[in-house]
Structure 1
């Protein structure tokens, strides 16, 4: 066992993990932070679930992060793991056992203590959710159980090396809920019923497709060591407004009906750069937006076809045409802000001539409508997507146009988030279009390993599995880096998934709103946020 002080941070380049920029009226201009008031914040979609242990969309996680505390926190600037509910911890030599010493005095909103027994109940509850724990199930894939060492000490044990778990313990997906929460069903918790956390805000109400209201937790005094102040949150209330139409969100903020809005569209960004408004931006770490291939379906069983599709996508044109300078073309399956990211831009270069050579050599010839055919089969595949990011359809339509030029027919199929999840779990797709946010390279194991998500439907024992297992075996970046680098290379070279662009969170706010923050996973952290004015 070794003490927390000897655990190395994952991030090597702190500048890449730094939060973005803000403009407009600053907190200093408005004086010192003041308590009280309501933040009225627009989100672009109805949350799929308010329970942070089950949620997966940005809208849901931006709510859930305010309701629960985590065992640890992660510094957005350095990637280092810092104290929160746990003030110290130890990890054994092979990363299969994690012992957390809890800070005294923390309580859930029902008054019960955040003690070792509650932590055990919470983690056992996440494990029991199975696939309903969209992110947590991957983090806890090898979780065997927890042991209450004493009232303030809990040990979590894993069946296999799980170096990623220390970072996972900082996420809201493993945020701690009170034992009473598990008296309610998973579906009930999704609607806020019994959603009892220890966070700085408490659930008040949820009206589907309308709004979600949170209220300040009175007496809160156990915030993360990374936050700017201690004690209670400044805001009395957060009112999330569900506003799917980007133009309505923009107009409502400009007219003063909103304090802030998430998901500012690239075309609208300039309106909030000055004139009393401001923007806060932060790139999402983790898996970039990509076309993830089911390698057992149709034309995508052919690796040459997948490689040609990758070469036929002009990622810079996607950013320049549909997005904005706040976004980056993908240069790996991982975003540049992810610890142990590897630059594979040379392998993801737009090269339509190479795409044509690959397809010509593979026997695909142009048909009468320009789409290639082979043995009577059209070179065509469908992509399943949900509109969780407003520009998804526009991006895919541009990619569709690009791929037609190499003779590939990309069919675009829009589904709800729930429908997309069902199709993904059933393996009923050609391409999946998605991104996953996480500040740890182990997100690749969650998604690609045949022992976990296996969205590519690869056979067990493939070379990628070995690299994904190796990077999960040690906390030391010097040990993890080679395996993480090789995993990224294998994914890109074999085009198991075809990276397109890196997502960026862009939040705009009015002159009376201050200190909107992001945690390391680019989710909103509103503990230090405050409002001024009348």
Structure 2
């Protein structure tokens, strides 16, 4: 059991109390002190852009976290709540109003003061995103607040009722109803606070959709402006290199590095070779088979606590056969998930019984793994009249994810499982950004796909609500009963009642089986021997401000 994650449950349960942790925050700020030097980190994928509200992928979040800050954050190496830009956060009795006491003396990278007006400007901006292109990309905001002031797409009614700034250091968030996701969700990188000046100057809301691809405005691509310990310097899209510089005017402990460079190196073997050659000082997601050799060579392999789900996604909209639950059950029985866990993932990987990890409140412990049973799969296909089923199976390239260390190998194994029960598989490989994510999340042109999720905070809704809380192109189904069940669980503020509601929702999900949960596993990050201060996070929420490089 992940004790760090369990501790967050207590923090959420105490959400009706005033949370005052300023002294802890000060002591946990980086120990860098501005020693200098440059760290080059090998990232497995390219960031889509740098405006956190539009971000949905880990590589965009990885870079954004260094430049932006949220009102509430997570203590290093845990999922425990800690002060960010707010020193205290106090709800009223029913969770419909949250009062934030703000840090003083903070400025954005462009010199704009951080204050309550800036906080309210950001909340109002998110609530009033102007068009379907912008709203469709604000997935985390929708998941938390339900919709927008003026919905341009198929969204629910927004629970955001406004933001007040009674004085410079106090911001008050008003909601139409409480949600059990708070206060933990206040730490979402998507809710990072941006400079109002820069947002207006660089047309932050001018996002456009052309075909299946989004075009982002100048703010998101060239002028992201937060309050964090690093500031944006450049992004060379051709080489996949993002350069950040230390923010010498940072309000807390200044970073220990002069520069932080993220180099996109999609191939895991290439990342390992560059680390061994000394051209990078660290990289994410080393292949589980390389961990022992890397440690033997003197590198630090820092394991994260498992807090993710890897799943085989099923889109019911394109292929009528997939709308039959018997066909989805057949696909589940066809996949040898135990073999995946044992042969292609870290040693402690486990077969998933549902779409949340065991450490998340709301896990239904009575659910059993779907057994590998090719004969049963063939029988179900025959019963559904789908013995000649053909599927377009999409999988990503040019990326490694915490839950999916080698997408091609995983696809190959799963596709062979499907072929063994008579399913014809048409493989469709696409690059992670600029193809795959747009096809899966926007266009919905796939039948099957591989994807997963690392939790942003300890809340079942952050997993199953994000996946199945509303109709999405990724899964292509409408099940209002399930949507309503998840919405009711999310609105439940009492921790015990909320856990019970999500346990039942997880049983309903596995009965309907909109997709197939595969595994949960512990990813790792590896750094050179002379790198100090890197703290692995179960949320993959590593902050590089604490990092220094020894001589």
> Structure 1 residues 360 and 76, CA, compared in 2 at 3 Å: closer, same or farther?
farther
Equivalent residue in structure 2 for 1:266, among 285, 288, 311: 288
Structure showing the higher helix proportion among its residues? 2
Change (3 A) 1:519 1:502: same
- Report the Cα distance in structure 2 between the residues aligned to 1:32 and 1:505, rounded to whole angstroms: 26
Distance verdict in 2 for CA 1:344–1:308, change over 3 Å: farther
Structure-1 residue corresponding to 2:138: 133
* 1:310 aligned to which of 318, 329, 332: 332
Query: 1:300 deviation in Å?
Result: 0.5
Measure, in 2, the Cα distance between the counterparts of 1:7 and 1:437.
17
> 2:105 — aligned with what?
105
Partner residue, 1:196: 225
1:503–1:140 CA distance, 2 compared to 1 (3 A): farther
Do the aligned partners of residues 160 and 459 (structure 1) sit closer, same or farther apart at CA in structure 2, a change above 3 Å counting?
farther
Choose which of 467, 474, 495 in structure 2 pairs with 1:447. 467
Whether the 8 Å CA contact 1:50–1:64 is kept in 2: the answer is: yes
- Give the alignment partner of residue 509 of structure 1, picking from 527, 538, 544: 527
Which has the higher mean CA deviation after the structures are superposed, 206-215 or 95-104? 95-104
What is the distance in 2 between the residues matched to 1:207 and 1:234?
24
Deviation of residue 320 (structure 1)? Answer: 2.3
CA contact (8 A) 1:448 1:454 kept: no
CA distance in 1, matches of 2:246, 2:77: 27
1:256 is matched with which residue?
278
1:490-513 per-residue CA deviation (whole Å, 9 max, x = no partner) reads: 222221111112254321111111
Report the CA distance between 1:191 and its aligned residue. Answer: 5.2
In structure 1, the partner of 2:544 is 526
Counterpart position of 2:91: 91
> Could you tell me how far apart the structure 1 residues matched to 2:493 and 2:189 are?
21
TM-score normalised by L of structure 1: 0.84
Structure 2 partner of 1:401? 416
Q: What RMSD over aligned residues (CA atoms) do the two structures have, in Å?
A: 2.7
SS in 2 for 1:66: helix
Q: CA 1:516/1:194 → structure 2, altered by over 3 Å: closer, same or farther?
A: same
With over 3 angstroms needed to count, the CA separation of the structure-2 counterparts of 1:518 and 1:456, relative to structure 1, is same
Describe the superposition over 1:267-310 as per-residue Cα deviations: whole angstroms up to 9, x where unpaired: 32222123321111214535x22122223432101100101111
8 Å CA contact retained: 2:12, 2:183:
no
Distance of aligned partners of 1:428 and 1:328 in 2 relative to their CA distance in 1, 3 Å threshold: same
Change (3 A) 1:193 1:75: same
Query: Which residue in 1 is equivalent to 2:56?
Result: 56
Q: Which residue of 2 aligns with 1:214?
A: 244
CA distance in 1, matches of 2:534, 2:348: 18
Q: Structure 1 residues 461, 363: closer, same or farther in 2, change over 3 A? A: closer
Q: Note the alpha carbon deviations across 1:410-468, whole angstroms, 9 max, x for none.
A: 33322233433433323333234212332221122232123x64743433531x22321
* Kept in 2: contact 1:147–1:156 (CA 8 A): yes
| Change in CA separation of 1:298 and 1:320 when aligned onto 2, cut-off 3 Å | same
Cα 1:10–1:308 shift into 2, 3 Å: farther
1:271-350 equivalent positions in 2, closer than 5 A: 271-283=293-305, 285-286=307-308, 288-296=309-317, 297-325=319-347, 327-343=349-365, 346-350=368-372
Change (3 A) 1:138 1:216: same
Corresponding residue of 2:514: 496
Match of 1:384 in 2: 394
Structure 1: state its 5+ residue gaps: 1-5, 13-30, 223-230, 365-371, 373-377
Q: 1:455 to 1:244 in 2, by over 3 A?
A: closer
How far did residue 212 of structure 1 move? 0.8
The alignment status of 1:176 with 2:193, answered yes or no, reads yes
Is the contact between residue 66 and residue 543 of structure 2 (CA under 8 Å) also seen in structure 1? yes
In structure 2, do the counterparts of structure 1 residues 429 and 10 end up closer, same or farther at CA, with 3 Å as the change threshold? farther
| CA 1:504–1:78: 2 relative to 1, 3 Å | closer
Counting only pairs closer than 5 Å after superposition, residues 357-368 of structure 1 correspond to structure 2 as: 357-364=379-386
Deviation at 1:244?
1.8
| CA distance, structure 1, for counterparts of residue 483 and residue 539 of structure 2 | 25
Greater shift, 492-501 or 384-393, is seen at 384-393
| Pairwise CA distance, 1:136 | 3.1
How far off its partner does 1:523 sit?
Answer: 2.6
Q: Distance in 2 between matches of 1:174 and 1:47?
A: 17
Alpha-carbon distance in structure 1 between the residues aligned to 2:104 and 2:547: 26
Instruction: Say which is worse superposed, 465-474 or 70-79, in terms of deviation.
Output: 70-79
- Per mean C-alpha deviation after superposition, the further-off stretch among 437-446 and 414-423 is 414-423
1:410 aligns with 2:442: no
Q: Is the 8 A contact 1:315 1:500 kept in 2?
A: yes
Q: Normalising by structure 2, what TM-score?
A: 0.82
2:305–2:538: 8 Å Cα contact kept in structure 1? no
| Residue aligning to 2:435 | 419
Task: List per-residue Cα deviations over 1:116-149 (Å, max 9, x = no partner).
Answer: 1111112223341412224333223233432223
